[in-house]
Amino acid sequence: MAKQHGNGLADSPTADDKNASNSQDVEMHGYGRQPGGERFSIVIPVLNEIDNLPVFIGELDDLISRKQLREIGEIVFVDDGSTDGTLDFLDSLAADKSKGYSVRVLKRSTKLGSANAELAGCKIATYDTILKMDSDMQHPIRYIEDLVRAWNPGLDLLVASRYLEGGGNDWSPLRGIISRSAQMIARIFIRNSGKLSDPLSGFFVLRKDLVLRLLPVINTKKLLLYVLATKRDIRVGEIPYVMKDRLGGESKIVDNSMKFVQQYFIEILTYWKLARKIKRASDRGGS
């Protein structure tokens, strides 16, 4: 079951709000969509993921053919200078026209952070609906079907959550505590975080127009928080998912936990400040 919350007219200048409509908090029972409707762009940040990408594509193709998931229209990979063979793999994937989806690769030369890469990928996506996920198999492929089926036009965002019933992760107790603390901090600074059980999720569907006017910020990891901070009234849904450990390759998160915490605070404060700016501009415009 997907949960859906929302309270009406969107007001952020960061979004094209023409599709916004009033709605009360509701629950969606079951998955509302049938195969073959609206198409999705999958956006994936990549950095040295050659150990994971062949498995990722193999499982995705298998899912698409087993479930007739014709909604997947394209994959946009955003690479920040991989040196492990990832780019060769992606080039040959992009050249393969036998798949039911197209593959595009945005190649950048500097590591600017995963959220920065995701934002760039969203902006060049062909379709208006974007499914964002990672390439290291922490977001298991099978949930793509759940997200696609649960998506409906009344939503701005549909988030795969580790903290709904039926969700979870393989984390050590320490990493669990860090994640919960990070969530609490997000809820203090970003009001819309409270609408989600997992505002730090990296696995979600969103309407492209929500991100088109967002400015790139470097060294960021949480695009979802950026969207939540900068869009005031947002209609969100959630589905559960079980997050896995990365399959292979190395984590790109900073290994020093103090530095990690410091970067997280800077990221949250950046979004908080941007949200305040947007609110002030919107209050001035409305008065």
Ligand X SMILES: Nc1nc2c(ncn2[C@@H]2O[C@H](COP(=O)(O)OP(=O)(O)OP(=O)(O)O)[C@@H](O)[C@H]2O)c(=O)[nH]1
Q: Is 49 in the site for Mg ion (CB under 5 A)?
A: no
DSSP3 helix / strand / coil % (the chain, rounded to 5): 40, 15, 45
Q: Which two tokens stand for residue 257?
A: 């936990």
- Who contacts 12 (Cβ-Cβ below 8 Å, separation ≥6)? 230, 231, 232, 233, 278, 282
Q: What residue 240 binds from ligand X, Mg ion, none (CB within 5 to 8 A, per partner kind)?
A: none
* Residue with smaller CB distance to ligand X, 251 or 257: 251
Backbone angles phi, psi at 111, to 5 degrees: -75, 110
Encoded one letter per residue, x for contact with ligand X by CB under 6 A and - for no contact, window 228-267 reads ------------------x----xxx--------------
Question: How far, in Å, CA of 144 to CA of 176, rounded?
Answer: 24
Q: Which of residues 122-151 bind Mg ion (CB under 5 A)?
A: 136, 138
- Whether 230 contacts 214, CB under 8 Å: yes
Question: How far, in Å, CA of 201 to CA of 165, rounded?
Answer: 15
Residue from 6, 45, 167, 237 binding ligand X (CB under 6 A): 45
* Residue with smaller CB distance to ligand X, 213 or 252: 252
Residues for the chain: how many in total? 287
Q: Is 39 in the site for Mg ion (CB under 5 A)?
A: no
Q: Which two tokens stand for residue 201?
A: 């999720």
Q: Is 129 in the site for ligand X (CB under 6 A)?
A: no
Question: How far, in Å, CA of 172 to CA of 232, rounded?
Answer: 34
* Residue with smaller CB distance to Mg ion, 80 or 136: 136
Q: Which of residues 70-99 bind ligand X (CB under 6 A)?
A: 78-80
Q: Is 220 in the site for Mg ion (CB under 5 A)?
A: no
Residue 113 Cβ vs ligand X, minimum distance, rounded to whole Å: 5
* Residue with smaller CB distance to Mg ion, 92 or 251: 251
The contact set with ligand X (CB under 6 A) reads: 45-47, 49, 78-80, 111-114, 117, 134-136, 138, 246, 251-253
